Amino acid sequence: MNSAAYPPPTAPPANMFGTVPGYEGMAAGGGGYLPPPIPLQPVAPPQPSPEPEEWSIPSLSEDDARDAFKDYVSSHCCYNKSPANDGVITKMEPYDTYRYRLETYTESRSTEWATKPHEGEPADFYTQTAPRPWEVPATAPNLFTNHMEEIRVPYTSSVKDCNSCHSRGTMPCDECHGDGSKACWVCNGSGKRGEESCSHCDASGKERCVKCDSRGTKECETCKGKGQLLSYIQLKVEWTNNVEDHVVRQDSGLEADDLRSVSGKELFKNSQYLLYPLLGFPNPAISEASERMIRDHQSKYAQNSRILQQRQTVELIPITKVKYKWKSDSHKYYVYGNERKVDCDKYPATCCCVIQ
């Protein structure tokens, strides 16, 4: 069968997607994120944050600082171990700092017309009134867990002919263009090799198309050979944990971005539907960050999503600046976080590793 016998695929007809109450104006490209129901307001008055029993962190000992440095050096194949083993610590300065973290857990919904191969599903379009986007049941995962789910909206499904293959279920093979055979690869379709007939194709100049088993057709990729499509409204539900950190400025010289990968001593944590800012925190920068970030999150995420829960955490992150001498020169490194990670930009004894 020649590919000319197949009319070219067409775009979905304009009437392929019906009009569903509550989904007016939605095209095949999607309807965008949908405004959520009006959220409830907090019902409890703001309360001062409880004060932890202990706001400080035990100082890092010289032995711990040295062990952390040795572990750091051992993880770098190009670092000579002498500075870590023989260096003499001359000064240790704590620069412990606070990190405020706000998490706003949201649910957002968007819709679009979708199609899939029809596999016997009932066409329930208009048999009942379709639930509106925020009325469709969806089971949320555990709080503060990212997840996405796609749901076929009930009572929006209808069966349509496949516009790609015109209901045939097959398309011309793209290898042989629907002929079932192609030019012999040995003689390039001439039927001869020099003065002799080509033995590979028996001088026909053609060989069977292996890709389509000489049928000249392949299964339609759109309808998977069914010839029909199920058209329906697809609801995409996304649960997202929106996290923002604020690290109180510290003058140790260590970059705030370095602290993203470590944890600290948890001083305070609470969660509820909509949070109130922290009040009376010993460091005013934390209270200011809490007020600003909570206000911004509630304004930003309530526009196109539903806030399910918020959580705020305050940590005290240990940072120690360690100064040491090696071969009469002064050097420094940082030990930070509960994990006792080390930052050392200018290690004094490196070598070049050359692969022979």
Name residues of the chain where pLDDT drops below 50. Answer: 43, 46, 354-356
Cβ atoms 333, 73 nearer than 8 A: no
- Which phi and psi (to 5°) does residue 190 adopt? -80, -25
Cβ atoms 68, 340 nearer than 8 A: yes
Of 273, 271, 263, 267, the residue nearest 319 (C-alpha): 263
The pLDDT value recorded for residue 84 is 94
Cβ atoms 95, 252 nearer than 8 A: yes
The pLDDT value recorded for residue 354 is 30
Give this prediction's pTM. Answer: 0.76
3-state secondary structure of 293: helix
The pLDDT value recorded for residue 15 is 55
Write out 33-66 in H/E/C secondary structure: ECCCCCCCCCCCCCCCCCCCCCCCCCCCCHHHHH
The pLDDT value recorded for residue 355 is 38
pLDDT tens sequence across 275-292: 888 887 888 899 999 999
pLDDT tens sequence across 137-184: 999 999 999 999 999 999 999 999 998 999 999 999 988 988 889 999
**Tokens 């990670």, residue located:** 341
Q: How far are the Cα atoms of 199, 237, 241, 321, 348 from residue 138, in angstroms, in the given order?
A: 65, 8, 17, 50, 58
Q: How many Å apart are CA 278 and CA 285, to the nearest integer?
A: 11
Around Cβ 304, how many Cβ atoms within 10 Å? 15
- Averaged pLDDT score across all residues of the chain: 86
